[in-house]
A and B are shown apart, each in its own frame.
Chain A
Amino acid sequence: MDLYEYQGKELFARAGIPVSEGRLATTAEEARAAAEELGGQVVVKAQVLVGGRGKAGGIQLADTPEQAEEHAAAILGMDIRGHVVRRLWIERASDIAKEYYLSVTFDRGEKKPLFMLTTEGGVDIEEVAEKSPEALARLHVDPLEGLQPWHGRWLIFTAGIDSPSEQKQVTAIVEKLFGAFVDFDAMLCEINPLIVTPDGEVKALDSKFTVDDNALYRHSDIADMRDLEAADPRERLAREKGVTYVKLDGEIGILGNGAGLVMATLDVIDQVGGRPANFCDLGGGGDAQGVVEALEVITSDEQVNAILFNIFGGITRCDEVARGILTALGQMEIRHPIVVRLDGTNAEEGRRLLTEAAPANLYVEETMLSAAEKVVSL
């Protein structure tokens, strides 16, 4: 689960990492009030779960509350790479002398947390890693050993931070960031930029924070931060129904059992010239209730003009899925043509059930390829 900048900063503050004071605003009036409260120059920052908001005009300086209100009115509703701005973070403006970069991420390859620190902050870190890798201090932390003071020392000296005051502040932030990373079950904690003010104060000017979905059960406060309105409405509906669903751009609704098989189905649809409308995994289920709920989600997408079921029976039995499909079709009216491919455990029985019931808009196919070709031809 990705957090907004202001939510990440809230967690930073809880961990003791210095951040600027700010207020959340969802209307231009609130932005003005926030600017009045904060006093002085403020920054109006669009809150979106995507990069590039600065370039898109989603971050503006305001000298007065009136200006903050104007900027807020312009930024709210703005579409930044497909994300509509509905929240603003109004923050006291900071003077910037230097911009550093600090992050700790979950390195899947090494299976250890990875710290990265560079004095070339404020830009895309992948660019730094490519153009001047020597400027980037990278260090893994053994999760059993935990963070030790030497990790922080190694990072500041290797990155070339030479002011003693900055060294002290950055090592303290490294320690607190690692604390946040572990305590909040984060997959990514990034501060870019980590700024040094003209007075020599080091603080986090931005935050990028991703929390492990599997660990949300032990962080109900973070789970509550999820912005349900930011998700595609169908993805939201799917979440409520407990269906794994991802919206895509095409016209063919896809249901399958198992993430890998569904991904493969999308690829095969593409190969035979169709465009998948979604990823939808029924999981181990396939009973009538599960099928109904998945169909409700899929058919709520108006772009869908045909539906493909791709079921491989393992533990899930195909005859059960067939009964589920027939029950579901009895319960809800579906005008789209449906192609069903059943294979594996009890597939023959499942196909027989479907063929005998023979709903008008239902086609039964035996292989994944033939089913994909059929659904694309409809």
Chain B
Amino acid sequence: MAIIVDRDTRLVVQGITGREGSFHATRNLHYGTNVVSGVTPGKGGESVEGIPVFDTVRAAMKETAPNVAMVFVPARFAADAIYEAVDAGIGTVICITEGIPAHDMLRVYNYVRPRGVTLVGPNCPGVLSPGKANVGIIPAEIFSEGPVGLVSRSGTLTYQIGHELTQLGIGQSTIVGIGGDPVVGSSFIDVLARFEADAETEIVVMVGEIGGAEEEKAAEFIGAEMSKPVVAYIAGFTAPPGKTMGHAGAIISGSAGTAQTKKEALEAHGVRVGTNPTEVARLAAEVVGSRAG
């Protein structure tokens, strides 16, 4: 097992003929992901690395029966692309696109949520289940199969921590980048619940950052609902209030959303919080080691 994407994934890539879309669709394909189709309006009938391209998601649905959509279209068309995938009956949408207006995502979120659709992102690196499927831009060669579920708001920081884990000989079940925007389709809690239910995942490493209150909510969820150990890292202890630190969502407003309050909330629920990526990997290794022993 793994979560969100695995060997049963049948992927359609929206925006497959774009520069980024074709590059990453091809990478995902070569990793072994079952990329069944792509969609670019007006380019139906073409193909990318042997992947058939359709004009609409419905047409792709009819011919290739995808169950996961990856969105690579430009920001101003991305909300539309998500609606199109959901309306075609696709149950999991992973949106890589960054820069989508927050109000667009607000409506998308409230539309997809009651329909039971899993939306990951936007502005995220995607989802990788090592050895099974890679949907997005995560460099798979850094990661390996194993017991750690990794969930993060940040891309390169995830790679850094995954790399440190791999160097300690610890692999991962699934790596989920939930994205750094103010409105994301999947929260930490959504992903933690899936890791809790996943047989392959033994422990979870959660990588948060300043802004919002999702880490605090996750802390309560972990305390109340999770039996598996969780280790966390929070980036942004030295971030000044009122400044956006790269991600639209990474901003301290007033006294809310600081790294310190997030760390304290997590520790209050028994989560060990590392002070840098190296320490987090070491803490995770300790937990894995003690469980193996």
Stretch at the interface among A69-77, A220-228, A253-261: A253-261
Complex-state Cα separation, A190 to B5, whole angstroms: 42
Indicate whether A10 reaches chain B with its CB closer than 8 angstroms: no
Partner of A271, one of B180, B246, B275: B275
Partner of B102, one of A185, A244, A267, A281: A185
Indicate whether A112 reaches chain B with its CB closer than 8 angstroms: yes
Partner of A212, one of B102, B141, B238: B102
- Chain B residues near A332: list those with CB within 8 A: none
Q: A217-B76, A263-B235, A344-B163 are in contact. Are A108 and B213 (CB under 8 A)?
A: yes
Indicate whether A270 reaches chain B with its CB closer than 8 angstroms: yes
Name the CB-closest residue of A to B259.
Answer: A267
The answer to whether A111 touches B183 (Cβ under 8 A) is yes
- Chain B residues near A248: list those with CB within 8 A: 238, 240
Partner of A260, one of B107, B139, B152, B217: B152
The smallest beta-carbon distance between A162 and chain B, in angstroms, is: 32
B233-256 to A contact mask, C-beta < 8 Å, 1/0 = 101111110011111111000100
- Chain A residues near B110: list those with CB within 8 A: 111-112, 142-144
Q: A111-B183, A182-B103, A258-B156 are in contact. Are A368 and B250 (CB under 8 A)?
A: no
The answer to whether B153 touches A314 (Cβ under 8 A) is no
- Chain A residues near B236: list those with CB within 8 A: 263, 266-267
Indicate whether A378 reaches chain B with its CB closer than 8 angstroms: no
Indicate whether B212 reaches chain A with its CB closer than 8 angstroms: yes
The size of the chain B interface, using a CB distance under 8 A, is 59
Partner of A109, one of B107, B217, B246: B217
Q: A248-B240, A267-B236 are in contact. Are A281 and B76 (CB under 8 A)?
A: no
Complex-state Cα separation, A343 to B259, whole angstroms: 26
Name the CB-closest residue of B to A188.
Answer: B253
Indicate whether B142 reaches chain A with its CB closer than 8 angstroms: yes
Complex-state Cα separation, A279 to B250, whole angstroms: 13
The smallest beta-carbon distance between A189 and chain B, in angstroms, is: 12
The answer to whether B278 touches A367 (Cβ under 8 A) is yes
Partner of A259, one of B154, B182, B233: B154
Interface size grouping (class) on chain A = 35 or more
Name the CB-closest residue of B to A317.
Answer: B139
Indicate whether A215 reaches chain B with its CB closer than 8 angstroms: yes
Q: A276-B238, A344-B139 are in contact. Are A261 and B160 (CB under 8 A)?
A: yes
Indicate whether A369 reaches chain B with its CB closer than 8 angstroms: yes
Indicate whether A268 reaches chain B with its CB closer than 8 angstroms: yes
Complex-state Cα separation, A227 to B236, whole angstroms: 27
- Chain A residues near B277: list those with CB within 8 A: 264, 368
Partner of A263, one of B76, B106, B209: B209
The answer to whether A259 touches B163 (Cβ under 8 A) is no
Complex-state Cα separation, A113 to B106, whole angstroms: 9
- Chain A residues near B17: list those with CB within 8 A: none
Name the CB-closest residue of A to B239.
Answer: A263
- Chain A residues near B111: list those with CB within 8 A: 144
B136-157 to A contact mask, C-beta < 8 Å, 1/0 = 0111011000000000111111
Complex-state Cα separation, A108 to B259, whole angstroms: 17
- Chain B residues near A269: list those with CB within 8 A: 238
Q: A143-B110, A271-B275, A344-B139 are in contact. Are A260 and B209 (CB under 8 A)?
A: yes
Indicate whether A262 reaches chain B with its CB closer than 8 angstroms: yes
The answer to whether B154 touches A314 (Cβ under 8 A) is no
The answer to whether A281 touches B107 (Cβ under 8 A) is no
The answer to whether A267 touches B275 (Cβ under 8 A) is yes
Indicate whether A246 reaches chain B with its CB closer than 8 angstroms: yes
The smallest beta-carbon distance between B176 and chain A, in angstroms, is: 14
Partner of A215, one of B102, B139, B217, B250: B102
The answer to whether B183 touches A108 (Cβ under 8 A) is yes
Complex-state Cα separation, A375 to B244, whole angstroms: 25
Complex-state Cα separation, A269 to B275, whole angstroms: 12
Interface residues of B in 242-282 (CB under 8 A from A): 243-250, 254, 259, 275-278
Complex-state Cα separation, A315 to B140, whole angstroms: 10
Indicate whether B101 reaches chain A with its CB closer than 8 angstroms: yes
The answer to whether B101 touches A212 (Cβ under 8 A) is yes
Partner of B106, one of A112, A258, A281, A369: A112
Indicate whether B100 reaches chain A with its CB closer than 8 angstroms: yes
Complex-state Cα separation, A264 to B155, whole angstroms: 12
Indicate whether B41 reaches chain A with its CB closer than 8 angstroms: no
Indicate whether A348 reaches chain B with its CB closer than 8 angstroms: no
- Chain A residues near B259: list those with CB within 8 A: 267
Complex-state Cα separation, A109 to B106, whole angstroms: 11
The smallest beta-carbon distance between B153 and chain A, in angstroms, is: 7
Indicate whether A345 reaches chain B with its CB closer than 8 angstroms: yes
Indicate whether A126 reaches chain B with its CB closer than 8 angstroms: yes
- Chain A residues near B235: list those with CB within 8 A: 260, 263-264, 267
The answer to whether A345 touches B101 (Cβ under 8 A) is no
Complex-state Cα separation, A344 to B245, whole angstroms: 23
- Chain A residues near B32: list those with CB within 8 A: none
Complex-state Cα separation, A126 to B254, whole angstroms: 10
- Chain A residues near B275: list those with CB within 8 A: 267, 271
- Chain B residues near A270: list those with CB within 8 A: 237-238
Interface residues of B in 13-36 (CB under 8 A from A): none
Partner of B158, one of A213, A256, A260, A367: A260
- Chain B residues near A246: list those with CB within 8 A: 240, 243-245
The smallest beta-carbon distance between A236 and chain B, in angstroms, is: 14
24 A-B pairs with C-beta separation under 8 A? A108-B183, A143-B103, A144-B110, A212-B103, A214-B75, A214-B101, A259-B180, A260-B157, A260-B209, A260-B247, A261-B156, A262-B245, A262-B246, A263-B239, A263-B250, A264-B235, A264-B277, A267-B235, A313-B139, A314-B142, A315-B137, A345-B139, A368-B278, A369-B276
Besides A142-B110, A267-B259, 4 other A-B contacts (C-beta < 8 A): A108-B182, A263-B239, A267-B238, A271-B276
